[in-house]
Amino acid sequence: MAVPVPPSLPSSIDLSHHLTTVARSRHPSPLKDIIQYMSQPGMISLAGGLPHPSLFPFTALQASAYPSSTVLDTTSPTVPSKSVTLNVPLHTDESSPYSLSSLLQYSAPAGHRALLAFTKELTERLCNPAYSDYTTLLNNGSTDGWNKVCTLLLEPNDYILVEEQIYPSAQASFIPFGCKSVVIGVDGQGAKADLLEQALRGWDESKGRRPHVMYIVPVGQNPLGSTMRAARRKAIYDVCVKYDVVIVEDDPYCMLQFGEYRLGRPTAPAAQTIDVDTFVNLMEKSFLSIDYQGRVIRLDTFSKTISPGARLGWFACNSMFAERLLRGTEVQTQHPSGFSQWGISGYLEWATNLKEQYRVRRDWMMDALAASFDLVPAETAGVNGALGLVAFAKGGAGSAKPLMSFVPPTAGMFLWCDVYYSSTKPFQRLAASSVSQGADSAADADPEGEFEREFWNTLVAANVLVTPGWYYRPWMGDEYKTVKSRGGRPGVGHFRLAFSLEGKTEIEEGVRRLAEVMHREWARE
């Protein structure tokens, strides 16, 4: 019986019209181009100004790492009794395929070949790209990668499509260009395709050219905590094809997907045995898996699975975008950090165990909230616009004073809370005072922002730190600084809770302090 031949994948389409003038104008750096010849056997190089390896003040490197099969005690993590030892001599020998003389030296801007091959294989395994000519390129972490993408795609004063809340450092990269956000409304899965279509279909050309770049964090979105399902991704992608939009998929939390939280169910400890294939198969797949045109630039990173200090990540994109990014790398960061790793199977085993650690921490946070508040499903709570669970004061679920609502995250590190300031008498007086000041003053008034700052300071005084919602407001321009001008929900503020750092006891005490402050403030007359 003949073995069926898998269908050939299409090649990416020509998307070069999206490149900025700067990106189009880049030429290969001749000094970087010549490095490839230095490794040619028998070559004597009198060309490059590379320091001699003997002048590096290191002779060898030894490090001990967890075995990839390590399962930590989430409550009281300790260093495993067994470890994997990594030895890196100054020069390559039979004990190691790596050498400090190469890892500490200038290298090709694309990055070390072994690590490039690793990222290509990992991308193939996790993302299964839907076109043939994709490639990977290393960078110094996703912040560096996104900065380079901004230079690649965004001209001064462009508009960029973003979700309702955005990580501050992401927009710090494009604000200096004079770029502004076009905010796409969200639900529990993130950006909504119908609202994306609405924004593009009705674009006013007098404002400038229609947005052609969408920045999106589809898994464990920071700060929203939302994770986008396959059908929503397909709908978003189809709209971007229709309106010729490049999708920049920033996916730092893709390996931290841990499933749903069940209210009232006891928190299980981290699983002692894991199935890597099952985990990979159940993961929400990348936009690359449906990208048959090559219009997705994916940003991956080791920051959330290995170490943020490593400053190492990679792009996965079509070869044209990669070549232009490489030209930028030659003059921006030269090349990424040197880095060693387990093999693919070891990395996936470690990541599968790691997501269990974050699943337990998520459950700690949710259990603490359930202990300090009455949590009611949004569909029965009678609160307009609420999603997930609505929190009331303990013993006050039958009252008309909702405190906040949130969607329990299924990935990432964060819980995003909609906070109902309108339920408090102090906010009601503040809002009424803003209106009574007259039309001009009322237009500039931002009672939600003012109250949120006061409330945040009250929490700080109680020794509990949350991230205030105003940190994550997409920059739309000076004229869109108030909730009213931005079309936000009147009387509603936000804050973000992180469950990644503190231990169980600290999370429980932090939530208890949060509840104590909220109960007191919402009871004020």
Closest CA to 215 of 270, 169, 271, 259: 169
In whole angstroms, what is the distance from residue 105 CA to residue 119 CA?
Answer: 21
Say if residues 405 and 187 touch (Cβ distance below 8 Å).
no
Exposed, middle or buried by CB within 10 Å (0-12, 13-18, 19+), for 216?
buried
Structure tokens at 116: 């490039």
In whole angstroms, what is the distance from residue 118 CA to residue 104 CA?
Answer: 20
Say if residues 158 and 177 touch (Cβ distance below 8 Å).
yes
In whole angstroms, what is the distance from residue 388 CA to residue 410 CA?
Answer: 12
Closest CA to 135 of 408, 321, 339, 364: 321
Model confidence pLDDT, tens digit, residues 31-41: 666 777 777 88
In whole angstroms, what is the distance from residue 49 CA to residue 468 CA?
Answer: 49
Where exactly does CATH 3.90.1150.10 map onto the chain? 356-523
Tokens 């690359």 label which residue? 288
Q: Which residues pair with 453 in a beta bridge?
A: none
Kindly state the greatest CA–CA separation across the chain. 84
Tokens 């299924």 label which residue? 410
Structure tokens at 406: 């949130």
Element at 35 (helix H, strand E): helix 35-38
Question: Which residues fall within 8 angstroms of residue 137, CB to CB, at 6 or more apart?
Answer: 110, 111, 116, 314, 315, 317, 322, 325, 326, 329
Question: Looking at residue 339, what is its pLDDT?
Answer: 45
Output Rg (C-alpha) for the chain, integer angstroms.
25
Residue 116, CA atoms < 13 Å, CB-side half-sphere:
15
Question: Looking at residue 341, what is its pLDDT?
Answer: 43
Q: Which residues pair with 314 in a beta bridge?
A: 138, 300
Beta strands in 75-206 (DSSP E): 84-89, 134-139, 159-163, 180-184, 186-187, 190-191
The class level of CATH for 87-354 reads alpha beta
Name residue 415's amino acid.
L
- Tell me the three state secondary structure of residue 107: coil
Closest CA to 193 of 225, 235, 137, 165: 235
CA angle 163, 407, 303 (to 5 degrees): 60
Total Cβ atoms within 10 A of residue 106 = 16
Question: Looking at residue 452, what is its pLDDT?
Answer: 94
CATH architecture of the domain with residue range 356-523: Alpha-Beta Complex (3.90)
- Tell me the three state secondary structure of residue 168: helix
Structure tokens at 453: 């700052």
Question: Looking at residue 254, what is its pLDDT?
Answer: 96
Question: Looking at residue 406, what is its pLDDT?
Answer: 97
Q: How do beta strands 180-184 and 60-65 pair?
A: unpaired
Question: Looking at residue 64, what is its pLDDT?
Answer: 86
Residues 47-58 as b/e (b if ≥16 CB within 10 A, e otherwise) read: eeeeeeeeeeee
Q: Phi and psi at residue 225, in whole multiples of 5°?
A: 75, 5
Say if residues 148 and 71 touch (Cβ distance below 8 Å).
no
Question: Looking at residue 236, what is its pLDDT?
Answer: 98
In whole angstroms, what is the distance from residue 284 CA to residue 303 CA?
Answer: 19
Say if residues 220 and 411 touch (Cβ distance below 8 Å).
yes
10-residue stretch averages of pLDDT, the chain, 525 residues long: 64 97 84 71 82 84 86 85 84 77 73 83 96 93 92 97 96 95 96 98 94 98 97 98 98 95 90 92 96 98 87 92 86 53 81 94 97 95 94 79 96 97 93 68 80 95 95 92 89 96 95 96 87
The secondary structure of residue 64, as a DSSP letter, is E
Question: Looking at residue 307, what is its pLDDT?
Answer: 84
In whole angstroms, what is the distance from residue 274 CA to residue 296 CA?
Answer: 31
Q: How do beta strands 389-393 and 373-377 pair?
A: antiparallel
In whole angstroms, what is the distance from residue 480 CA to residue 100 CA?
Answer: 52
In whole angstroms, what is the distance from residue 109 CA to residue 107 CA?
Answer: 6
Q: Phi and psi at residue 374, in whole multiples of 5°?
A: -85, 120
Q: Phi and psi at residue 136, in whole multiples of 5°?
A: -120, 155
- The distance in angstroms from the start CA to the end CA of the chain is 81
Q: Which residues pair with 318 in a beta bridge?
A: 134
Say if residues 448 and 483 touch (Cβ distance below 8 Å).
yes
Q: Which residues pair with 247 in a beta bridge?
A: 214, 296
Say if residues 214 and 247 touch (Cβ distance below 8 Å).
yes
Say if residues 376 and 366 touch (Cβ distance below 8 Å).
no
Say if residues 420 and 383 touch (Cβ distance below 8 Å).
yes
